[in-house]
Amino acid sequence: MTRKLAQVLLYAVAWAAPIAQAETLKIAAVAPDGTTWMKEIRAGASRILEATQGRVELKFYPGSVMGNDQSVLRKIRVGQLHGGVFTGGGVASIDPNARIYNLPMLFQSLKEVHYVRDRVDAAMRESIAANGLIAVGIGDGGLGYVMLSDAAHSIEELRQRRVWIPEGDPITAKVFELAGINAVPLPLSDVYTALQTGLLDTVTTTPSAAIAFQWHTRIRYIIDYPLAYVNGYLLLSSKAMQRLSDADQRVVSDVMRDVFVRLDEQAERDNEGALEALRANGVQLIQLSAEEQQRWQEIAARAVEHAVGQGQVSRDMWERVVQHVAAFRSQARVQD
C-alpha cells in the first residue's frame, strides 16, 4: 500500500468516526510567525482540522509569547498549554537525551545528521514518551555556527568577546568554560535586545535562524566551522492526545510527521539561501586553521565526556549515535 493511499484511508476513517466534542490543542513556539517552521506547522494544522471535520484544532502562540521553554513545560504540566515547539536543550530538563543530536562537534555535515536520525529518531520518540510527551515531529534546524560582530580567528580572540549560550545548556557552557571563554547564558527571547545593547556581540546559531530572529543586523563575521547541529521537536501532552479518538490521534500524528519531512527537506535550502543573503549583505566567512579546528575538537570531546559522566545524556544513547556516525564516515571513505 502506498503512503498516499494509506493517508486517504486514514482520513476516511477519521471522517467516519463518531462525532466527538471538539478539542483545541494550545501550542507554544519560540519560532516567530512567518518562519518556514510556523508556515508548515500551520498548514498541517489546517489539514488536521479538515480531516477531523473540525474535531481537532491546533492553536499556536509563536514568538515566545508564552515564555521560555521551562515556562512552557510548566504550563503543559498544569494543562494551560497542550504542547510546544522546542529545541533539544529546551526539552532536556524532562529528558536529557533530547539534546543528543546537539552535542558539540558531533556532525560534520547534514548527510551525517540524516543518516544518524534515520536510525535513532525512533529511540528518541520512545525516550520522550516515557516522560509524558509525544514527539509528533522531529525536524532539522541546520548546522549552527559562531557568528560575531567583530572578527575572531582563535580561541584567544574569542576570549575578548561577549558570547551567548542558551539558558540551561550545561554542555555548551562546559565547552566555553574549557576554552576559557566567559559566556553569557540568556533565554532565546532576550538575545536580540542583548545584541542591541552590547551585552552580547557573539552568538551560535544557524544562518536561517539569525535572519528569522533579526540577529543578523548585528553580525559581520561567521566562523565557517559548524559548532553544533540544531533541531526542533513538536511535542504534545500525552494526556491531551488521549482526549482525542484513536482515529483523530492517528490523523494528528500522520499529518505532522509529513510536515516534518517537508521541514527537513526545506531546512537545508533555507540555510543555504540565508547564508547567501548574509554574504550579500557584507558578512564575511572566517576559515579556521587545521590546528584551531583540532583544538575545538579536543575541547568538545572533553565537554561531551563530562556530560556523559554527569548523566546529562545517557551513555547508551551517546554510544549509539557515535557508532552510527562512525559507520557513515567509514562508508563515505570506501565510496571515495
- pLDDT band at residue 167 under the 50/70/90 scheme: confident
DSSP string across 246-275: HHHHHHHHHHHHHHHHHHHHHHHHHHHHHH
Return the percentage of the chain with pLDDT > 70, whole number. 93
pLDDT of residue 335: 75
At residue 303, the 3 state secondary structure works out as helix
Which residues, in sequence order, are CB contacts of 316 under 8 Å at separation 6+?
none
* Mean pLDDT in residue range 295-319: 95
* Mean pLDDT in residue range 249-277: 94
* Mean pLDDT in residue range 100-124: 95
Question: What is residue 108's DSSP assignment?
Answer: S
Q: Which residue has the higher pLDDT, 10 or 269?
A: 269
Interatomic CA distance for residues 183 and 155, integer angstroms? 13
Rounded to two decimals, what is the model's pTM?
0.86
User: Letter for the amino acid at 142?
Assistant: G
Which three cell numbers, joined as nine digits, stand for 226?
A: 559548524
Q: Which residue has the cell 547564508?
A: 275
Interatomic CA distance for residues 70 and 166, integer angstroms? 12
pLDDT of residue 334: 77
Give φ, ψ of 165 to 5 degrees: -130, 150
* Mean pLDDT in residue range 153-176: 95
Class of domain 3-335: alpha beta
Which three cell numbers, joined as nine digits, stand for 169?
A: 545548556
Interatomic CA distance for residues 284 and 137, integer angstroms? 34
Give φ, ψ of 183 to 5 degrees: -100, 155
pLDDT of residue 17: 47
Q: Count other C-beta atoms under 10 Å from residue 224's C-beta.
A: 13
Is pLDDT of 100 > 50?
yes
pLDDT of residue 90: 85
pLDDT of residue 30: 87
Identify the burial level of 322 via C-beta atoms within 10 angstroms of its C-beta, where 0-12 means exposed, 13-18 middle and 19 or more buried: middle
pLDDT of residue 19: 52
Interatomic CA distance for residues 159 and 295, integer angstroms? 14
Which three cell numbers, joined as nine digits, stand for 194?
A: 542583548
Q: Count other C-beta atoms under 10 Å from residue 2's C-beta.
A: 7
Domain boundaries, the chain: 3-335
- Mean pLDDT across the chain: 92
**Ramachandran bin of 64, using left for φ above 0, alpha for ψ from -120 to 50, beta for the remaining angles:** left
Strands 183-186 and 83-87 turn out to be unpaired
pLDDT of residue 189: 87
* Mean pLDDT in residue range 239-264: 95
pLDDT of residue 160: 96
Return the percentage of the chain with pLDDT > 90, whole number. 82
Q: Which residue has the higher pLDDT, 202 or 189?
A: 202
Give the tens place of pLDDT for each residue, 21-74.
789 999 999 888 988 899 999 999 999 999 999 999 999 999 999 998 889 999
pLDDT of residue 168: 85
Q: Which residue has the higher pLDDT, 13 or 155?
A: 155
Which three cell numbers, joined as nine digits, stand for 133?
A: 510527551
Which residues, in sequence order, are CB contacts of 149 under 8 Å at separation 6+?
195, 201, 202, 218, 219, 220, 221
Helix or strand (DSSP H, E) at 322: helix 315-335
C-alpha dist (Å) from residue 204 to 163, 195, 201? 8, 13, 11
Given a contact cutoff of 8 angstroms between Cβ atoms, the answer to whether 59 and 41 are in contact is no
Which three cell numbers, joined as nine digits, stand for 140?
A: 532539522
Is pLDDT of 173 > 80?
yes
Interatomic CA distance for residues 35 and 57, integer angstroms? 20
At residue 278, the 3 state secondary structure works out as helix
Is pLDDT of 126 > 70?
yes
